[in-house]
Structures are given as structure tokens and as C-alpha cells.
Chain A
């Protein structure tokens, strides 16, 4: 069974540009999470989508946004890129057997490494 996939693997952009990152969850998983791992800051929660809806977002500005498609794949969009957006962006998926009120194991993709110059 294929794991979580992300594209692209690496990306270089300049300040002010916009970027779209993509994630395909494990087949059957309806929840997708986005995380940012910036150097020195550790992993931080960005966004959570389930069944096509944004369920929660972390402490990030509105220029970080995304969506989930009917096939449960997801996009993360970052507008007006800043130097501090340089990071590894990780997507994870989960099958919430008990519904959204109960947590479950998250399976991580390989990440997209974004460099902003």
C-alpha cells in the first residue's frame, strides 16, 4: 500500500512569490494535517482538513491557506513568501476510526523542502 506522498520534494522561491504544495494521503484516510519544521523551531501544526473541511489551524498568518479535494488530497498555499517561511513542510494523514472527536495515528509524508531567497 502506498504511503503519504508529497510534491514537489524541493522548491526554491524568492520573497513575495506564492507557492503551492501538494499531498496525497494514504488510500482510505480522510484527514490530512500540514506541519512546518523550520530550522531551530521544531515541528509546528499548520492546518487540519477532514472530509473536505478545514477543522482547525495553528498559529500562522492567513497567507498560509489550503484546501482538501473530494479525493482527500490536499494543497497548502503560501502567499507573499518571507525568508522565515524556509522550512520542511510535512503532510500527514490519518483514518479517524472513531470520528473527529478521537485521535488516531498519523502517517507522515517525506516532506517538501522550501527555500525562500
Chain B
């Protein structure tokens, strides 16, 4: 079993819909990261969080440490949001390399 699990693997939605991507992890962590990868490979860090909730524009990330679960929400989705969204964790103990989920491939249709 992977240490970081994401769902769904693939998601197609219509423009304007509210999107939720889920991430569960099974190891102790110091932080959870949400990343966005566009075709061509470039990765952008969207959020790093260790508790509670963060918001940036139309993106919201939440984490429940007790349940080892995080969600990424996109409000008023737009075709430019189409990308792969990757959940990753920093394990307890330091600023080590990240452990990644397999990603959620999101397509927003106009």
C-alpha cells in the first residue's frame, strides 16, 4: 500500500463546478504539500500546511492531522485549472525529500 493515496485518479468536470481532490497518508508527517503539474512537466507548489486550512484565490486546502487526511478544493473551476494535482508529504524528522501520491489528473471542460 502506498504511503500517500489520492482520489480520484482522474476527474473530468464542467467549467464552474466545485472540485474536491482527496489525499490520505499513513506515515507521521511534519507537513503536507499540494503541487500542480502542467503538461510539459513544470511543477508549482500550491500549498504547504501542517494544520487547519489555507486559501489562495480559488484554491482551498485543508488538513485533518488526527484522521491523516487532506483535501484540495477548487471553486468556480476554469479550463486553465486542468492539470495534474499531486499530494506530497514531508515525513517527521526534518526537511527531507518528499513522498508523493500518484496524482489526480483534472480536466475542466468549457
Residues of chain A whose beta carbon lies under 8 Å from any beta carbon of chain B: 31, 33, 35, 37, 42-48, 50, 55-56, 58, 88, 90, 92, 94, 96, 99-108, 110-111, 113
Q: Which of chain A's residues has its CB closest to B95's CB?
A: A103
| B94: contacting residue among A33, A90, A103, A105, CB under 8 A | A103
The answer to whether B86 has its CB under 8 Å from any CB of chain A is: yes
Q: Are B45 and A56 touching (Cβ within 8 A)? A: no
Contact digits for B72-101, partner A, Cβ 8 Å, 1 yes 0 no: 000000000000001010100111111111
Q: Given A43-B86, A96-B95, are A107 and B45 neighbors across the interface (CB < 8 Å)?
A: yes
Enumerate 25 A-B pairs (CB-CB under 8 Å) in ascending A order: A33-B97, A42-B100, A42-B101, A42-B102, A43-B86, A43-B98, A45-B97, A45-B99, A46-B97, A48-B95, A55-B96, A88-B41, A92-B43, A100-B94, A101-B94, A103-B48, A104-B95, A105-B33, A105-B45, A108-B43, A110-B40, A110-B41, A110-B42, A111-B41, A113-B41
A103–B41 touching, CB < 8 Å:
no
Q: Which residues of B contact A108 (CB under 8 A)?
A: 35, 42-45
User: How far apart sit A46 and B98, CA to CA, in the bound complex (Å)?
Assistant: 10
Interchain pairs with CB closer than 8 A, number:
72
Mostly helix, strand, loop or mixed at chain A's interface?
strand
Residues of B within 8 A of A (CB): 30-31, 33, 35, 40-45, 48, 86, 88, 90, 93-103
Report the bound CA distance from A113 to B48 in whole Å: 27
